């Protein structure tokens, strides 16, 4: 990425040619600045042989973090996409330009698709470092089996698998979008429909949390973790917590990420605290919730919040704070933060919270209804 005014590079990534006429695949996050700020940045390439030039952006896939660009060339050598994924344990090789040190090859192991993943990624046991994003990972025959996309450190890397890669390359024959921002919004809405439809079509399964009931496992790709202070003999109250978070998000640019889904519950009880002290403890728990995604004031409006008291179908009395903020570049998308607290029990309470990032109003309302109806006392 070249910052136009200075004429210098502002970031780097890798890419690989997939056709003789110059089609190149890279990560969307490598070229994202040119989408959001097309007058400030342009995309250039430097080949392993030292050739340079400009690139034209053809198509993007923000959900899978892919982009298709093109350079002017003919009859150039290119990578062939594999037809099948390797077997678990097979040796594969990641190529890229880490920290702008030049092209390197990193050997590693194919360890299958990441478990409990909504948008599939390949688990690669090998080092993927900054600058290698968008480079190919190939099998022993030099066929592309994935695209470098992320790392979790300690020899844990992730690759975009073949299916979305092939789908992007196939779109080369389609017209380039006139408005990439409108295309991003369309892709985000399609993705959140796939993500949230299982949550809104049917009532949620129920799980126990202390003396309360909350949402059970609605989908397999939303892992949950729990904790309590049950082993603290000096505690004057008991707290039991459950947190569920989608272990992936969608990168739009360096100051804006979306696609987050979070559910959080905390049950508290005490026979040692006065009503006033217990209430203050309760209020502190409510104040800890916040949005789960990174967004700045140039990207979203301030939250607008409303309070409401209600009783759900299980006759649990609840006080809810409903907060939404709008995306400035996407007129149909919002971040939604809901925080609730029961108020019908003297010595126990349930705090509940969810965050949805990048959703339509209609989908957020349907999700909220299911969330509220999943709360109950045993």
Q: Say how far apart CA 244 and CA 359 lie, in whole Å.
A: 18
The 10 Å Cβ neighbour count of residue 33 is 20
Same domain, 272 and 208: yes
Of 142, 176, 210, which residue constitutes the final position of a domain? 176
Same domain, 200 and 165: no
Q: What is the pLDDT of residues 13-55, one digit of tens each?
A: 999 999 999 999 999 999 999 999 999 999 999 998 889 999 9
11 within some domain: yes
Q: What is the pLDDT of residues 153-175, one digit of tens each?
A: 888 899 999 999 999 999 999 99
Query: Among candidates 139, 145, 137, 166, which has minimal Cα distance to 64?
Result: 166
> Residue 124: which pLDDT band, with cuts at 50, 70 and 90?
very high
Dihedral of the CA atoms 355, 303, 311, 267 (nearest 10)?
A: 50
User: CA torsion sign, 273 to 275 to 276 to 279?
Assistant: positive
Question: What burial letters (b/e) apply to 158-193, b meaning 16+ CB within 10 Å?
Answer: bbbbbebbeebbeeeeeeeeeebeebbbebbbebbe
Same domain, 163 and 201: no
The helix (run of H) or strand (run of E) holding residue 364 is helix 361-373
**pTM of the prediction?**
0.93
Q: Say how far apart CA 95 and CA 66 lie, in whole Å.
A: 16
Same domain, 212 and 358: yes
Q: What is the pLDDT of residues 75-105, one digit of tens each?
A: 899 999 999 999 999 999 999 999 888 899 9
Q: What is the pLDDT of residues 241-260, one digit of tens each?
A: 999 999 899 999 989 999 99
C-beta separation of 163 from 113 below 8 A: no
First to last CA, the chain: 57
Of 123, 154, 176, which residue constitutes the final position of a domain? 176
Comparison of pLDDT for 346 and 122, the residue scoring more? 122
Comparison of pLDDT for 191 and 294, the residue scoring more? 191
Q: What is the pLDDT of residues 280-290, one digit of tens each?
A: 877 777 776 66
Structural domain including 18 reads 2-176
181 within some domain: no
Same domain, 113 and 197: no
For the chain, the domain total comes to 2
Instruction: Determine the 3-state secondary structure of 34 from DSSP.
Output: helix
Same domain, 115 and 241: no
Same domain, 225 and 114: no
Tokens of 302: 């301030």
Same domain, 222 and 262: yes
Q: Say how far apart CA 125 and CA 119 lie, in whole Å.
A: 19
Helices vs. strands in the chain: H and E counts, helices first: 5, 27
Contacts for 102 with CB less than 8 Å, ≥ 6 apart: none
Could you tell me the CATH number of the domain that includes residue 128? Answer: 2.40.10.120
Mean pLDDT confidence for 290-295? 76
Mean of per-residue pLDDT scores for the chain: 93
């Amino acid at each position: 990425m070249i910052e136009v005014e200075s004429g210098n590079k502002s970031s780097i990534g890798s890419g690989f040619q997939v056709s003789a006429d110059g089609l190149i695949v890279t990560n969307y996050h490598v070229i994202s600045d040119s989408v959001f700020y097309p007058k400030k940045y342009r995309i250039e390439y430097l080949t392993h042989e030292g050739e340079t030039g400009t690139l034209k952006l053809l198509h993007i896939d923000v959900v899978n973090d892919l982009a298709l660009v093109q350079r002017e060339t003919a009859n150039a050598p290119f990578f062939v996409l594999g037809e099948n994924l390797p077997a678990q344990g097979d040796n594969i090789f990641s190529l890229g330009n880490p920290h702008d040190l030049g092209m390197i090859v990193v050997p590693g192991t194919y360890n299958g698709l990441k478990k409990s993943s909504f948008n599939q990624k390949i688990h690669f046991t090998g080092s993927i470092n900054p600058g290698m994003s968008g480079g190919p990972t190939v099998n022993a025959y030099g066929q592309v089996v994935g695209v470098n996309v992320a790392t979790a450190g300690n020899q844990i890397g992730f690759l975009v698998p073949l299916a979305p890669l092939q789908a992007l390359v196939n779109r080369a024959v389609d017209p380039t979008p006139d408005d990439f921002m409108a295309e991003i919004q369309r892709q985000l809405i399609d993705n959140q429909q796939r993500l949230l439809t299982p949550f809104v079509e049917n009532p949620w399964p129920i799980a126990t949390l202390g003396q309360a009931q909350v949402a059970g496992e609605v989908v397999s790709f939303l892992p949950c973790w729990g904790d309590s202070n049950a082993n603290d003999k000096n505690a004057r109250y008991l707290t039991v917590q459950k947190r569920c978070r989608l272990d992936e998000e969608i990168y739009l640019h360096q100051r804006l990420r979306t696609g987050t889904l979070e559910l959080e519950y905390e049950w508290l009880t005490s026979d040692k605290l006065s009503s006033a002290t217990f209430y203050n403890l309760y209020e502190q728990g409510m104040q800890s919730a916040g949005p789960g995604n990174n967004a700045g004031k140039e990207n979203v409006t301030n939250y607008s919040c409303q309070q409401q008291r209600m009783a759900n179908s299980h006759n649990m009395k609840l006080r809810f704070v409903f907060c939404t903020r709008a995306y400035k570049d996407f007129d149909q998308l919002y971040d939604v933060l809901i925080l609730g607290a029961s108020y019908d029990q003297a010595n126990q309470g349930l705090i509940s919270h969810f965050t949805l990032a990048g959703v339509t109003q209609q989908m957020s309302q349907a999700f909220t209804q299911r969330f509220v109806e999943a709360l109950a006392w045993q």
